[in-house]
Structure 1
Amino acid sequence: MSTYLAGFSLGLSLILAIGSQNAFVLKQGLKKRHVFIVCLVCAVSDGILISLGVAGFGTVVKQFPTIEIVARYGGAAFLAIYALLSFKSAFTETHALEAEAETESSLFKTIAICLAFTWLNPHVYLDTVILLGSVSTQYHPEQFQFALGAVIASFVFFFSLGYGARVLAPVFENPKAWKIFEFFVGVIMLALALSLVANV
């Protein structure tokens, strides 16, 4: 049980910070748009990466740094584009939750964006594959319990964030609040994109 709790607490602490993936989940939750599938895609993706890390994939990433480089520049480009779209939305569109609900994005497009936020983010590999993978070696032969704790932490966090966002819905009935949120998301995305390039 202690090994499971160690994996759960470390896994949860690594994804608590507001990042591109979390901001996207929060945004989908506020719009009540494909919330379940978005939360599921994020949690399952984390689960796959954590499992790969515990299984030893982290050593492969270290041996082939090209994987990290491709993810870094691809992720930076994606985040920069999404930031510009958020800024455009903040300054040029009229916002309200009702209006946002009417402009429904396709499920395929939503899943594609969600996957990009997850798999094009080098920090995800650092946290799940390398960090959790290396820490799990301390709990041998109970690494499975450690990984299970971290995976469940991802499910708890993403579903709580996605469905908990509805508590904030009354605030976002005000179009100005939505504009501020779009601008805030844009700032987060742009800052993360710049950090990826600056850390080369």
Structure 2
Amino acid sequence: MRSTFLAWTHVISTYLLAAVAGLVTGAGLIIAIGPQNIYVIRQGVSGAYVLPVIAVCVVSDIVLISAGTAGLGALVSAHPSAVAIAEVVGGGYLLVLAALAARRALRPGSGPAHSGSGSGSGRTVGLWAALGTALALTWLNPHTYLDTVLTLGSIANSHGGAKWSFTIGACTASLIWFLMLGLGARRMAPVFASARAWRVLDTAIAAVMAALGVMLIAGA
């Protein structure tokens, strides 16, 4: 009886430790300044489709991390040319987003990122546009695959039979982070009641997006 209890305790502790390791490792990789996080912050501040955008980011992470755990990382590693192409495409897309953010900063209230409800509102045109941008920023960013499919997938598989516990922990980190990021940014909405505040935010977004885009293309 005692041996059975000890055996179950060992199993539970092994899976629990793997889950905690996944949570910590996932948080370390996901919590970083990147185009996806910046977009979630902007949607949170504007109050435009925050939860749907968060859902897209979290579900995408779950799919990618699970794919890495299932062995997709080896396939990606075997085709470095595909990663290089993704870097060029992703970098070009980020430069386009940087140009749009710069345009909004120079001409507040203009462009597809704003509605006609008032200056500085920051609301996107529609739900599908917001979701499409979130999907593009996730799936066109090569670093997403490096962090989720390759890195987290490799670490998950190093845990042997507890690899899916690690995966659950990493996915939980994604859920917690994006909820905190989007809903936390929403509390900053009163600060962005003026067009000037939106110009500052969009200027910062343009600078970060442009830098990331150039780095991706240069590293291809």
Q: Taking structure 1 as the reference length, what is the TM-score of the superposition?
A: 0.94
Q: Which residue of 2 aligns with 1:199?
A: 219
1:31 and 2:46 equivalent?
yes
What is the Cα deviation at residue 106 of structure 1?
Answer: 1.2
Identify the range of structure 1 (129-138 vs 42-51) with the bigger mean alpha-carbon deviation: 129-138
Q: Report the Cα distance in structure 1 between the residues aligned to 2:124 and 2:202, rounded to whole angstroms.
A: 17
The one-letter code matched in structure 2 to 1:43 is V
- Equivalent position of 2:129 in the other structure: 109
Q: 2:179 aligns with which of 148, 154, 159?
A: 159
Contact 1:8 1:149 in 2 (8 A): yes
Matched, 1:14 2:29: yes
Structure 2 residue matching 1:110: 3-state secondary structure: helix
Give the direction of change, closer, same or farther, for the CA distance of 1:104–1:19 in structure 2 (3 Å limit). Answer: closer
Q: Which protein has greater RCO, CA pairs closer than 8 Å, 6+ apart?
A: 1
Alignment partner of 1:68: what SS? helix
User: Offset of 1:171 from its aligned partner?
Assistant: 1.5
Asked whether the 8 Å contact 2:87–2:217 carries over to 1, the reply is yes
Instruction: Give per-residue Cα distances to partners, 1:94-144, cap 9 Å, x unaligned.
Output: 599953448542111111111000000000000000000111122111000
| Residue pairs, 1:17-166, within 5 angstroms | 17-94=32-109, 99-101=119-121, 103-166=123-186
Matched to 1:47, the amino acid is: I
What secondary structure, in the 3-state scheme, does the structure 2 residue paired with 1:142 have? helix
Moved over 4 A (4+): 94-98
Q: Normalising by the residue count of structure 2, what TM-score does the alignment of the two structures yield?
A: 0.86
Tell me the secondary structure at the aligned position of residue 33 of structure 1.
coil
Contact 2:73 2:149 in 1 (8 A): yes
Secondary structure in 2 matching 1:171: helix
Question: Is contact 2:53–2:130 with CA below 8 Å preserved after alignment?
Answer: yes
What is the rounded CA distance, in whole Å, between the counterparts of 1:73 and 1:114 in structure 2? 18
Distance 1:80 1:104, change over 3 A: closer
AA partner of residue 99 (structure 2): L
Contact kept, 8 Å, 2:18 with 2:166, in 1: the verdict is: yes
Aligned Cα RMSD in Å?
1.8
Q: Residue type of the partner of 1:90? A: A
Secondary structure, aligned partner of 1:93: coil
Count matched residues.
Answer: 200
Q: 2: CA distance between counterparts of 1:74 and 1:151? A: 26
Q: Distance in 2 between matches of 1:8 and 1:102?
A: 33
Range with bigger deviation, 120-129 or 96-105: 96-105
Structure 2, gaps ≥5 residues long = 1-15
